[in-house]
Structure 1
Amino acid sequence: MLKIGSNISEVRIDGNLDHLCRDLDAFQEFGLTAAEIGVHGTDVIRNGKLDLKRIADIQKILNRYPFSYSVHAPNPLNLMDEEDFDLHVDVMRSSLEFTQAIGAEIMVYHPGRFQAEESFGPLGKIVSSEERCRRLLDLEAEILLNFASEFPGQTIAMENARPYRYHSPYCYAETISALQDQVERINRDNVGMTLDFGHLHMAAKFYGFAEIAAVKQVAHLIRHCHVHDNFGGTVYHTDKQQTHQIPLGKGDSHMPVGWGNIDFASIFSCFLDQYQGLLITELRGRYFAATGESAANLLYITENLQAA
């Protein structure tokens, strides 16, 4: 039976472990069976290093609950960052050590960016040469191959990226086919893909590719899912105020399942029969009260597909 859960919002937790308990209690009330812990919400990694006392405190909390856990590495982690490469490698290792410590098997990693999101400016994207892009892809593949060998019990699930108007392609993983190429190039059983439904929907509209065909092509690589809704419209990176974008159907809104226009049933039909991972309804903190509704909608979709 598939396990359906949600993310622990780093904005809601903001380093407060009492808030972690509060939201895990609510997940039980919602009837969830899984939870995804964002390392960046717990303050367990500081300047690349694990706080061992804090990780012990988190372990005690998580052990009180019956959930299956996955972990999300910090969003700014970028194994293509040449300026602070050693620091990013330390953060990656610490994130995997945290995943191991809490007994999770999946760690979500946002693939490397040719241009870091925090460097986006008003003049648009920084154009990278083909030679630089190839070199950075080589760099990321090499370090992920090393980590896959160092942590054989954890799966590194590389997440497809969302596009940004005026800045894309800032990340190769905006297109499913390019992410597939990198995963298959690494060629390790414990390096796979996180399929993010919201990012897929935005990228398909932005680049004009067919969502269903793209998912069928990578079905064998999908190890984890982030399931949330949107309307597919892209925005300029710095405009993050969701309340202004949703009336226009724009933004990576991370709404509850059923609130946007993603065809979840058609996408799931491409791979659900062979899928063994968790289904994480990854919502923004502003939708926390609708977490149960989102999970129920997701359960309805998947049960109907399995019964067909």
Structure 2
Amino acid sequence: MDARTPAPLIRGIGYSIRATSPDFDDLAGKLDEAERLGVDFVELPIFAWTLVMDGRVLADRLERLVAATRDRPFGYTVHGPLAINLMAPKAVLPRHEAALDAAITVAGAVGAANLVIHAGCVRGEDDIAVAYSRQRDVLSRAGDKAAAADLTLCVENIFRFEPMRETPLPSRLAGELDAVDHAHVRATLDVSHAFLRCTDARADFMSEIAALAPYARHVHVHDSFGRPQESWAIDDAERAALGEGDLHLPLGWGGIDWDGVAQRCRFDAGTVVNLELHRRYWSELSAQIPVLRALAEKFAAAYAAP
């Protein structure tokens, strides 16, 4: 992407609201809060709401969601079902593709700019190369559907957890998206997820995120110490005390060098920068918004630098 493109680098900042009711009947208050905070986007957690049954969108509930989200001074992004796995075995893959199709329908109906799904993974004895091929095929089809819904499908890098053999490093995800080569299939760079995955793989964190950044139309930011979960713990406070796992800490509370991230990453034009904060730290949200906006400005300044 030419650094002189007329499209702004950073389209806006936003944050992921947290679902507390499966019927999203408490959504109005959460959107009121976002309006007071002056963000540009709100990320909707449709993975936690009762909207889809066996790949079928529940029309009456979707109508209620559309009504609840209209007439706000910000746009939307959507996080699709976390369970979608486009590298799943062939026998079950149609279920995952149907869930993705439903998520595209929901995201399109609320006018979302981006729909986030997780990159695929291999848990069993499936052939890894074949699994990647299946994912590319589904993403190509999904890109056409996303284009028809006027949104971008953004594939998010994750880290290995549970009995997971494979999920792509950021550089591998960049290569997969390059192979798909679809204008409506881009990346969500989750910086903390990359930190965790690179620790696990003993890969260079900054090089890996720099490789994915040009493919990213969406960035998830939250802090951690880049240590995979190793110790037994009951409560998230214990995990934070140990500095282990996917903590979703406020920016500046963990070990990520955010200035270094801004210096190394050249994001795609029109990128949304989205804060994913754990609900236990929600009291920090208002203080995090100026930090988030300042980080987005650093991303833009780095992009414009020679």
Q: Same fold by TM (over 0.5)?
A: yes
SS in 1 for 2:154: strand
Match in the other structure for 1:47? 54
In the alignment, is the contact (CA less than 8 A) between 2:189 and 2:213 conserved in 1? no
SS in 2 for 1:189: coil
SS in 1 for 2:240: helix
Match in the other structure for 2:159? 162
From 203, 214, 239, give the equivalent of 1:209: 203
Call closer, same or farther: CA 1:306–1:16 in 2, change over 3 Å.
same
* Distance in 1, Cα, partners of 2:87 & 2:201: 23
In the alignment, is the contact (CA less than 8 A) between 2:216 and 2:268 conserved in 1? no
Call closer, same or farther: CA 1:113–1:47 in 2, change over 3 Å.
same
In the alignment, is the contact (CA less than 8 A) between 1:211 and 1:267 conserved in 2? no
Asked if 1:282 corresponds to 2:276, the answer is yes
* Distance in 2, Cα, partners of 1:159 & 1:189: 16
1:169-208 matched pairs, under 5 angstroms: 170-173=165-168, 175-208=169-202
TM-fit CA distance, 1:240: 6.8
In the alignment, is the contact (CA less than 8 A) between 1:197 and 1:228 conserved in 2? yes
TM-fit CA distance, 1:209: 2.0
Match in the other structure for 1:123? none
SS in 2 for 1:231: coil
* Range that drifts further, 289-298 or 225-234: 289-298
1:220-235 matched pairs, under 5 angstroms: 220-235=214-229
Call closer, same or farther: CA 1:305–1:199 in 2, change over 3 Å.
closer
* Distance in 2, Cα, partners of 1:136 & 1:304: 37
* Distance in 2, Cα, partners of 1:231 & 1:80: 28
Asked if 1:101 corresponds to 2:95, the answer is no
TM-fit CA distance, 1:305: 5.8
TM-score if structure 1 supplies the norm length?
0.86
* Range that drifts further, 49-58 or 39-48: 39-48
SS in 2 for 1:80: coil
- One-letter amino acid matched to 1:93: D
From 103, 116, 128, give the equivalent of 1:133: 128
SS in 1 for 2:255: coil
Aligned-residue Cα RMSD (Å) equals: 2.2
Match in the other structure for 1:6? 15
Match in the other structure for 2:36? 29
- One-letter amino acid matched to 1:202: L
From 86, 91, 95, give the equivalent of 2:99: 91
- One-letter amino acid matched to 1:161: I
Call closer, same or farther: CA 1:219–1:305 in 2, change over 3 Å.
closer
Match in the other structure for 1:145? 140
SS in 2 for 1:250: coil
Call closer, same or farther: CA 1:167–1:192 in 2, change over 3 Å.
same
Structure 2 spans left out of the alignment, 5+ residues: 1-9
* Distance in 1, Cα, partners of 2:32 & 2:232: 34
Call closer, same or farther: CA 1:290–1:42 in 2, change over 3 Å.
same
* Range that drifts further, 233-242 or 84-93: 233-242
Match in the other structure for 2:3? none
* Distance in 1, Cα, partners of 2:240 & 2:113: 34
From 63, 67, 73, give the equivalent of 2:80: 73
SS in 2 for 1:226: strand
Structure 1 spans left out of the alignment, 5+ residues: 116-125
* Range that drifts further, 141-150 or 187-196: 141-150
TM-score if structure 2 supplies the norm length?
0.87
User: Percent identity, aligned pairs only?
Assistant: 23
- One-letter amino acid matched to 2:248: H
- One-letter amino acid matched to 1:198: S
Call closer, same or farther: CA 1:238–1:30 in 2, change over 3 Å.
farther
SS in 2 for 1:74: coil
In the alignment, is the contact (CA less than 8 A) between 1:242 and 1:251 conserved in 2? no
TM-fit CA distance, 1:297: 1.2
